[in-house]
Amino acid sequence: MAPHRQGAGLEHPRDARPSVDQLLGLRYPSRQTESIFEETAAILSSDTVMQLSLADRVRFVLYGVGAHYHARLECVHHAFAEHAANRPDAVAVEHGEEKITFRDLDRLSNTLAHDLRVRGVYPGQRVCLLVQRSIAMVVAILGVLKAGASYVPLDGGIATDQTIKFVLEDSGANLVLCLSSFSHRVPSHVESISLEGFMQRSGSHALPPIDHSFSDHEVYVIFTSGTTGKPKGVSISHRNVMNLLSLDPGKVGMRPGARVAQLLNIAFDMCAWEVLGSLINGCTLCIRGKAREDWEAVLRTVDVVISTPTILQCYRAEDYPNVRSVATAGEPCPQALADSWSRTANFFNSCGPTETTIVNTAEVHELGKPISIGRPTPNNRVYILDQDLKPLPIGQVGVMWAAGRGISAGYLKRPDLNEERFVPDPFARDGSCMFHTGDLGRWTEEGRLQHHGRIDDQVKIKGFRVELDGVAAALQSYREVTQAVALLVDKVLWGIICPSHLDLSAVRSAASEVMPYYAVPTRFLPLDQLPKTKNGKVDKAFLRELICNSLSREASSSSSSKPQAPELASRDPKPGNIIG
pTM score = 0.81
With cut-offs at 50, 70 and 90, classify the pLDDT of residue 91: very high
To which H or E segment does residue 498 belong? strand 492-498
The C-alpha atoms of residue 131 and residue 270 are separated, in whole angstroms, by 16
Q: What is the pLDDT of residue 142?
A: 97
Other Cβ atoms within 10 Å of 46 Cβ, number: 16
For a pLDDT cut of 70, what percent of the chain falls above it? 87
Quick one: how far is CA 440 from the chain centroid?
17
Q: Please give the residue that has the higher pLDDT: either 370 or 10.
A: 370
Q: What is the pLDDT of residue 17?
A: 47
Cβ-count burial of 95 within 10 angstroms (0-12 exposed, 13-18 middle, 19+ buried)?
A: buried
105-138 pLDDT per residue, tens: 999 999 999 999 999 999 999 999 999 999 999 9
Q: Before 249, cis peptide (omega within 30)?
A: yes
The C-alpha atoms of residue 147 and residue 177 are separated, in whole angstroms, by 13
Mean pLDDT score across all residues of the chain: 86
Q: Extract the runs of DSSP E, i.e. beta strands, from 86-240.
A: 91-95, 98-101, 126-131, 150-155, 175-178, 191-194, 218-223, 233-237
Check whether 25 has a pLDDT greater than 60: no
CB 449 within 8 A of CB 382: yes
CB 312 within 8 A of CB 328: yes
Q: What is the pLDDT of residue 61?
A: 87
Q: What is the pLDDT of residue 228?
A: 46
Q: What is the pLDDT of residue 46?
A: 75
351-397 pLDDT per residue, tens: 999 999 999 999 999 998 999 999 999 999 999 999 999 999 999 99
Q: For the chain, where do the domains classified as CATH 3.30.300.30 start and end?
A: 462-578
For a pLDDT cut of 90, what percent of the chain falls above it? 62
Check whether 2 has a pLDDT greater than 50: no
The C-alpha atoms of residue 22 and residue 17 are separated, in whole angstroms, by 10
214-248 pLDDT per residue, tens: 889 999 999 986 544 578 999 999 999 999 999 99
Which of these ranges, 28-37, 210-219, 282-291, 524-533, has the smallest mean pLDDT? 28-37
The C-alpha atoms of residue 334 and residue 482 are separated, in whole angstroms, by 9
To which H or E segment does residue 350 belong? strand 346-351
Give the closest residue to 362 by CA, choosing from 371, 351, 370: 351
CATH of domain 76-307: 3.40.50.12780
Q: What is the pLDDT of residue 21?
A: 46
To which H or E segment does residue 553 belong? helix 540-557
248-307 pLDDT per residue, tens: 999 999 999 999 999 999 999 999 999 999 999 999 999 999 887 899 999 999 999 999
The C-alpha atoms of residue 257 and residue 304 are separated, in whole angstroms, by 11
Q: For the chain, where do the domains classified as CATH 3.40.50.12780 start and end?
A: 76-307
Tell me which CATH homologous superfamily contains domain 462-578.
Answer: ANL, C-terminal domain (3.30.300.30)
Question: Residues 547-553: what's their mean pLDDT?
Answer: 83
Beta strands at 325-328 and 304-307: parallel, antiparallel or unpaired? parallel
Q: Please give the residue that has the higher pLDDT: either 545 or 516.
A: 545
566-577 pLDDT per residue, tens: 434 334 433 332
Quick one: how far is CA 289 from the chain centroid?
21
